[in-house]
Amino acid sequence: MLVALAFVGTAGAAPAQEIPPPARELVLGISTSTPLLADGNGTRVRSGLAPVVAAHLVAVRGLPGDMYAGVTVRGARSSLSLRDDGERWNGGSVWQVDVMADATWRRGPFSLTGAIGATWLRAARRVRPLEHARVLPTGEIGVGIRRTGSPWGARLGLQAYTLPVHGGQGGGVMRAIIGIAHGL
């Protein structure tokens, strides 16, 4: 309701001059994901909450419909927990690095982003399904908000990729990332 009142209050105001998004942006945040592996026998490999650092570069401005295109590079390191037959133990840690091309549509302080690219996963220990480094295709959708003229903003993204497991069957992983962005 507060959002609706804010829009009603500006309905008769003169349109503000649009300020382009920052050319470079640093994002600090946190992520969580669905299990990396969950089978019918009760085995589960899960990554914990992970601090996230990302850099975003706007590569192309002035696309039709308030759109721009860019590139994001993001890194995270989280702990791994394993569970099997009611037992739990520490699986070490896992690194995840994402490189994605994105397109963003912006209207006022709000933005909607779609991205495709690759994610690299590497566990510190030999833990299935991460016994070897993996490069996987990934996709992401996200929303953002940035007050006009401010270098600060917030982002929320939902990333998806498939992590192949032994036997050729894939396991879908969903990852949520929330962060504070600062334009440079």
Tens digits of residue pLDDT in 32-65: 999 888 777 778 888 999 999 999 999 998 888 8
Average pLDDT over residues 22-31: 95
Contact call for residues 134 and 166 (beta carbons, < 8 A): no
Report the share of the chain in percent with pLDDT over 70.
Answer: 86
Residue 118: which of 161, 56, 163, 164 has the closest Cα?
161
Phi/psi of residue 32, each to 5°?
Answer: -145, 155
Residue type at 97 in one-letter notation: V
Q: Give the pLDDT score at 144.
A: 96
| Cis, bond preceding 22 (omega within 30 deg of 0) | no
Q: From start to end of the chain, where are the E strands?
A: 24-33, 37-38, 44-47, 50-63, 67-84, 87-107, 110-123, 134-146, 152-164, 170-183
Identify the band that residue 166 occupies on the pLDDT scale cut at 50, 70 and 90.
Answer: low
Class for domain 22-183, per CATH? Answer: mainly beta
Highest mean pLDDT among 5-14, 56-65, 80-89: 56-65
Q: Give the pLDDT score at 17.
A: 53
